[in-house]
């Protein structure tokens, strides 16, 4: 892509958005416009040289303003969080469709050349995710459609909008289905954090307070794969620059149980904790993993950061945040 053209990153104040903006700046993109609904003081990162704007893209006029003179759009804006948030805020999650609708319309009006949409593994049909030893999810498993209620439906609907804007109007669209992205410089408390950050926080709290116990949602046997942020960023930019125009998984295929996730964080922290299981807490699907056959065949690529290596960095960062919080 032309590094002299303006590239818009929505959700730039969030976890993935902050890392993508930072990478674009380091790669030499000369005009990066970041937009987020949060006040600038609440953005996770502020890369030098970024044009940072606070705006609510659920409003069409703001989407039109944000996409003026823009050649490429990376749309990461969404009201979302971990399983505890999306299971209890289905309507809020679905309202993100306003952002996607308005950005697509605005991109068409303002002559945007290429549009990236961040979808999710939550689009996959529930019938494929009922066992802990789940068969890894390939892209075609999204149909017949029965995605995660609320959040998953919004993502799948927005995928279809991208497809039809491409077919009907010629807007080049790219769609990635992210699988549980984690890493430093993201949400680690407050109810919107995902499992890796939550486990890192709980273990750090146990170490720092001396209360050597940890609460785990469900029985701990549910399985997932987790994708480190640098792999997510690399895969996203690779897809955006490519000619591939079908939805594709960007996710690690290293599947672990939640108990095994805790094992790894305990090993990093050099601690052993008593585990208390909350069987009434939100648990999501029983098992989920990424099938990377398509991305390997098209790009000869898949995420390469091991869960242990990614959690090592994430835990150290979360530990520092917990320590600062306890000092207040």
| Helix (H), strand (E), coil (C) string for the chain | CCCCCEEEEECCCCHHHHHHHHHHHHCCCCEEEEEECCCHHHCCCCCCCCEEEECCCCCHHHHHHHCCCCCEEEECCCCCCCHHHHCCCHHHHHCCHHHHHHHHHHHHHCCCCEEEEEEEHHHCCHHHCCCCCCCCECHHHHCCCCCCCCHHHHHHHHHHHHHHHHHHHCCEEEEEEECCEECCCCCCCCCCCCHHHHHHHHHHHHHHHCCCEEEEECCCCCEEECEEHHHHHHHHHHHHHCCCCCCEEECCCCEEEHHHHHHHHHHHHCCCCEEEEECCCCCCCCECCECCHHHHHHHCCCCCCCHHHHHHHHHHHHHHHHHHHHHC
What pLDDT score was predicted for residue 166?
A: 98
Q: Which residues are part of the catalytic machinery?
A: 151
What is the domain range of residue 270?
184-225+254-327
Whether 63 and 170 map to the same domain: the answer is: yes
What pLDDT score was predicted for residue 146?
A: 95
Which residues does 263 contact at the CB level (< 8 Å), separation at least 6? none
Q: Residue 198 falls within a domain, yes or no?
A: yes
Number of domains in the chain: 2
Q: Residue 132 falls within a domain, yes or no?
A: no
Q: Residue 161 falls within a domain, yes or no?
A: yes
Kindly report the CATH number assigned to the domain that includes residue 290: 3.90.25.10
Whether 270 and 162 map to the same domain: the answer is: no
Whether 213 and 119 map to the same domain: the answer is: no
Q: Residue 133 falls within a domain, yes or no?
A: no
What pLDDT score was predicted for residue 233?
A: 98
Q: Residue 10 falls within a domain, yes or no?
A: yes
Whether 21 and 150 map to the same domain: the answer is: yes
Whether 78 and 191 map to the same domain: the answer is: no
Last residue of a domain, one of 199, 217, 250: 250
Whether 143 and 239 map to the same domain: the answer is: yes
Whether 114 and 188 map to the same domain: the answer is: no
What pLDDT score was predicted for residue 83?
A: 79
Whether 162 and 199 map to the same domain: the answer is: no
Kindly report the CATH number assigned to the domain that includes residue 107: 3.40.50.720
Q: Residue 212 falls within a domain, yes or no?
A: yes
Nearest alpha-carbon partner for 117 in 72, 76, 86: 76
d(CA 264, CA 118): 28
What pLDDT score was predicted for residue 48?
A: 86
Q: Residue 282 falls within a domain, yes or no?
A: yes
Q: Residue 129 falls within a domain, yes or no?
A: no
Whether 96 and 191 map to the same domain: the answer is: no
Whether 171 and 193 map to the same domain: the answer is: no
CA dihedral (139, 142, 143, 145) in degrees, to 10, reads -170
Nearest-5° Cα angle at 107, 99 to 100: 20
Whether 269 and 144 map to the same domain: the answer is: no
Whether 142 and 205 map to the same domain: the answer is: no
User: pLDDT in tens for each of the 328 residues of the chain?
Assistant: 999 999 999 999 999 999 999 999 999 999 999 999 999 999 999 888 899 999 999 999 999 999 999 999 999 999 888 878 888 899 999 999 999 999 999 999 999 999 999 999 999 998 999 999 999 999 999 999 999 999 999 999 999 999 999 999 999 999 999 999 999 999 999 989 999 999 999 999 999 999 999 999 999 999 999 999 999 999 999 999 999 999 999 999 999 999 999 999 999 999 999 999 999 998 889 999 999 999 999 999 999 999 999 999 999 999 999 999 998 7
């Amino acid at each position: 892509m032309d590094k002299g053209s303006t590239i818009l990153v929505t959700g730039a104040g969030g976890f993935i958005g902050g890392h993508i903006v930072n990478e674009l700046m380091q790669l030499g993109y000369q005009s990066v416009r970041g937009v987020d609904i949060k006040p600038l003081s609440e953005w996770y990162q502020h890369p030098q040289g970024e044009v940072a704007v606070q705006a609510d893209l659920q409003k069409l006029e703001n989407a039109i303003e944000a996409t003026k003179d823009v050649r490429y759009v990376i749309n990461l804006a969404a009201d979302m969080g971990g399983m505890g948030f999306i299971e209890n805020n289905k309507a809020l999650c679905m309202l993100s469709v306003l952002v996607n609708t308005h950005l697509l319309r605005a991109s068409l009006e303002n002559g945007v050349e290429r549009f990236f949409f961040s979808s999710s593994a939550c689009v996959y049909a529930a019938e494929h995710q009922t066992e802990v030893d789940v068969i890894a999810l390939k892209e075609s498993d999204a149909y017949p459609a029965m995605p995660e209620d609320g959040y998953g439906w919004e993502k799948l609907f927005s995928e279809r909008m991208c497809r039809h804007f491409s077919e009907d109007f010629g807007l080049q669209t790219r769609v990635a289905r992210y699988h549980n992205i984690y890493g430093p410089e993201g949400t680690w408390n407050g109810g919107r954090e995902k499992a890796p950050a939550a486990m890192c926080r709980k273990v750090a709290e146990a170490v720092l307070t001396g209360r050597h116990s940890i609460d785990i949602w469900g029985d701990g046997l549910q399985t997932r794969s987790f994708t480190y942020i640098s792999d997510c960023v690399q895969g996203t930019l690779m897809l955006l620059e490519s000619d591939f125009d079908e939805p594709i998984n960007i996710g690690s295929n290293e599947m672990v149980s939640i108990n095994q996730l805790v094992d790894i964080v305990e090993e990093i922290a050099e601690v052993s904790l008593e585990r208390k299981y909350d069987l009434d807490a939100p648990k999501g699907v029983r098992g989920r993993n990424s099938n990377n056959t398509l991305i390997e065949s098209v790009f000869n690529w898949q995420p390469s950061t091991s869960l242990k290596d990614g959690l090592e960095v994430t835990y150290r960062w979360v530990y520092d945040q917990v320590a600062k919080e306890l000092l207040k």
